Homo-oligomer: A and B are copies of this chain.
């Protein structure tokens, strides 16, 4: 197990009707709030109206940054920064999924940065002071509600990059599983794949002796596998939505990564798909993951896949090790298909002639991942297998 400095300061208010804490929690930071949200879903399902009522009743002033894109764009961040500066915003409140929360984080950090906001995305070291951030979660997927990361896209340069800062962790997040009852099946599926991918990125690593982290990872994987499909079949099953929602936060808040080396593999590859084609993040991950697993399976990674097969998929431990590993990969692939997710890059509009460009872009900072470091050529091979 590696040394680590653990700090997960975000408070979570979890459960039905927890939005009732909103006014009191916001007032700890001020009375001038920037709301950040995406499309119309929060208006259709009543969450927007509920929040506005609470703000008005409690005389909390608010401004709005709406229309945040599924892969939030730097120009939207810039608009948010302008609103914050002009109106002396005290706290940025995202309502939505990871896109809205990531956008809110970037706005909060860029607000205090004098230069081009893209600078703080490209180089997290440039982040100094950050406005307080809070969130009301409406989609179980990215875990942005409890972590310090934000992913922002730049359409001018076809770049999608992650940035991070301790003060970008939300001060509090409200997780009401009933808010995800109206999430469509395809988004529930993509969200589940995203959560599972966050766990895979931490689980499939070579750090010695991080036993407890790996068993905790398996616990979250089992939860996703059980409840992802259940939430798709029964969208208003509270138990399923609650377990998925809490999984989304715990998968990436640090619980699984503290004590491990965790340079990620599949996310950097997927970011290129989203940057070039605006593919839904979780869909890209679900397509790439089994092909990545097949590609990196060798003598040095075999035991990880054996543990995965036995502990997560209950595959008979009496079988030959490679058989266990291959069965586990197949089960993973089949599970994503059972959620209704595509299994080929060609199914989501990606063109074969862009694979090489995207592979080179994914590896432009060096090898991808630390489980089995991948060159641009390795990434291209995985893209081709997934095509």
Contacts and interface: CB of A to CB of B under 8 A. Distances in A.
Contact of A15 (B2, B7, B216, B238): B2
Interface stretch (A121-129, A130-138, A222-230, A352-360): A222-230
Contacts of A247: 212
Interface string A314-351: 00000000000000000000000000000000000000
A2 B17 CA distance: 12
B212 A243 contact: yes
Contacts of A212: 219-220, 223, 243, 246-247, 250
A280 to B, nearest CB: 24
A218 B215 CA distance: 8
A387 interface: no
A365 interface: no
Contacts of A259: 14, 242, 246
A5 interface: yes
Interface string A203-246: 00000110110011011101100110000000000110011001
Contact of A211 (B15, B223, B238): B223
A245 B2 CA distance: 13
A interface bracket (residues with beta carbon within 8 Å of B): 35 or more
A258 interface: yes
Contacts of A255: 255
A178 B147 CA distance: 30
A284 B21 CA distance: 41
Nearest to A317: B314
B9 A14 contact: no
Contacts of A238: 1, 209
A11 interface: yes
B246 A1 contact: yes
A8 interface: yes
Contacts of A218: 215, 219
Contacts of A220: 212, 215-216
Contact of A258 (B4, B14, B18, B239): B14
A246 B209 CA distance: 12
Interface in A1-50: 1-9, 11-16, 18, 21
A11 B247 CA distance: 22
Interface in A77-91: none
Nearest to A212: B223
Given A5-B13, A11-B5, A12-B6, A219 B215 contact: yes
Given A215-B219, A219-B215, A222-B215, A209 B242 contact: yes
A242 B211 CA distance: 10
Contacts of A7: 11-12
Contact of A243 (B1, B4, B243): B1
A34 B373 CA distance: 49
Given A5-B21, A215-B218, 15 more contacts: A1-B242, A1-B246, A2-B15, A5-B12, A6-B14, A7-B12, A14-B258, A208-B239, A211-B239, A212-B223, A215-B219, A215-B222, A216-B250, A219-B219, A242-B259
Interface of A: 1-9, 11-16, 18, 21, 208-209, 211-212, 215-216, 218-220, 222-223, 226-227, 238-239, 242-243, 246-247, 250, 255, 258-259
7 tightest Cβ-Cβ pairs between the two chains A and B: A3-B15, A215-B219, A209-B239, A6-B12, A212-B223, A1-B242, A216-B219
12 contacts: A1-B15, A1-B239, A5-B14, A7-B11, A9-B9, A208-B239, A209-B243, A211-B226, A212-B223, A215-B219, A216-B220, A218-B219
